[in-house]
Amino acid sequence: MTNRPHLRWATPADDDALGQIMYDAVRNGPSRYTEAQRAAWVSEPRKGADWTAKLARQHAIIGEQDARILGFMTLAAEGYVDFAFIRPEAQGSGLFRQLYNKIEARARSEGETRLWTHASLMAHSAFAAMGFTILTPETVQTGGQSLDRFKMEKRL
């Protein structure tokens, strides 16, 4: 990527695209999970009323370039960073940091004193680079598969 992506807050019109980005990042990007684990985590792009309702309760910042959304991150209640996904071709470009900086600024403006997340095996190092520390390793069950992740936090 030669140009810096444009950042903007998502609108409901972006919901289906965000579901596609999540799918693309999990299913097509580099991963420390097996294909069976990735398929259990995200079997298809998220969309529909439940997905829209979940996103409506969060602030979502997106990064786009040439009208293509490359990644997004969300801030839910109580400082929870719920989603953080970058398309494979934009991983390693600094987009995660750009999105995170907007999320942290939003959290601070809302009076949050900490941010926390459940980071995947791929995302935990990116969150650590933003100052998050691991509270505990976790294993969750989904679709008959066990997925390791980390509960992490950053005090603001």
Inside any domain, residue 92: yes
pLDDT of amino acid 2: 52
pLDDT in tens, the chain (156 residues): 457 899 999 999 999 999 999 999 999 999 999 999 999 999 999 999 999 999 999 999 999 999 899 999 999 999 999 999 999 999 999 999 999 999 999 999 999 999 999 999 999 999 999 999 999 999 999 999 999 999 999 999
Answer yes or no: is 1 within a domain: no
Q: What integer pLDDT is reported at residue 110 of this predicted model?
A: 96
pLDDT of residue 4: 84
pTM confidence score = 0.95
The token pair at 76 is: 């839910």
Beta strands in the chain (DSSP E): 6-9, 59-65, 68-75, 80-86, 114-120, 133-142, 145-155
- 86 found inside a domain: yes
Range of the domain at 121: 6-155
What integer pLDDT is reported at residue 1 of this predicted model? 44
* pLDDT for position 3: 75
Report yes or no on 78 lying in a domain.
yes
117 assigned to some structural domain: yes
CATH of the domain at 23: 3.40.630.30
Residue 65 covered by a domain: yes
Q: Is 63 within a domain?
A: yes
Note whether residue 51 is domain-resident: yes
The structural domain count of the chain equals 1
